[in-house]
Chain A
Amino acid sequence: EIVLTQSPGILSLSPGERATLSCRASQSIYSDSLAWYQQKPGQAPRLLISGGARRATGIPDRFSGSGSGTVFTLTIDKLEPEDFAVYFCHHYDISQFTYGPGTKVDVK
């Protein structure tokens, strides 16, 4: 079973700054089997990125995904007030699905 770890647990930044979130897999995975979700309090998660780097419909281009092997990154350029939330990485394949523990991006 693939285990995902995310760092940092909490990222304190100011609006306008860049956020760099890391997701590490316990073994090498295909980059196109990695997704990222955003979740705000009291809401369901929202798909940001699938296939490692493909933005979902309606997601602003300040969100970008990258990485390969065991290390993946979600970058948010110039944080907007609505971007302060929890972010989860997610590995998917035909029969196994795992989520990272999440990174909370909060206001510094």
Chain B
Amino acid sequence: QVHLVESGGGVVQPGGSLRLSCVGSGFSFNDYGMHWVRQAPGKGLEWVAFIWYDGSKNYYADSVKGRFTISRDNSKNTLFLQMNSLRGEDTAVYYCARIDGAGYYDKTTYIESWGQGTLVTVSS
């Protein structure tokens, strides 16, 4: 059974930084591409970033490009999201999620499994 557990959320001031982590279990972590998706309070889903199974390619939403960095440590079954220059509009629940493949085939990049999310609040 796929299990994804996020951590690292909290309250941070505008302009600050935060690093989210997500530990995967119940599957072969190094075989799957991973996403970060966020959801502002009472709002819809917004894709944030995507990384291939081996970390060789990553992609970002325009709203976070240049401020956020997605990475992974397959030896520790862990996905990361480094968030810098945080703004109020970054306040959201951040979900870690696994796709249905490695990442290089476009028909399998949809999210198959989601973590429970971690709340990031950017406020002074």
Contacts and interface: CB of A to CB of B under 8 A. Distances in A.
Interface of A: 32-33, 35, 37, 43-47, 50-51, 56, 88, 90, 92-102
A46 B59 CA distance: 23
Given A94-B109, A102-B44, A50 B50 contact: no
B32 interface: no
B116 A100 contact: no
A16 to B, nearest CB: 28
Contact of B110 (A35, A43, A100, A102): A35
Given A44-B95, A45-B114, A47-B111, A92 B106 contact: yes
Q: Give the interface size bracket for B toward A.
A: 20 to 34
Nearest to A47: B112
Given A47-B111, A50-B100, A93 B106 contact: yes
Interface string B22-35: 00000000000001
B46 interface: yes
A97 B47 contact: yes
A44 B37 CA distance: 11
Nearest to A1: B62
Given A32-B107, A51-B107, A99 B44 contact: yes
B45 A99 contact: yes
A92 B117 contact: no
A50 B109 CA distance: 10
A44 B114 contact: yes
Contacts of A51: 107
Interface in B82-116: 95, 100, 104, 106-107, 109-116
Interface in B33-69: 35, 44-47, 50, 59
A76 to B, nearest CB: 19
10 contacts: A35-B110, A45-B95, A46-B114, A88-B44, A90-B111, A92-B106, A92-B109, A97-B47, A99-B45, A101-B44
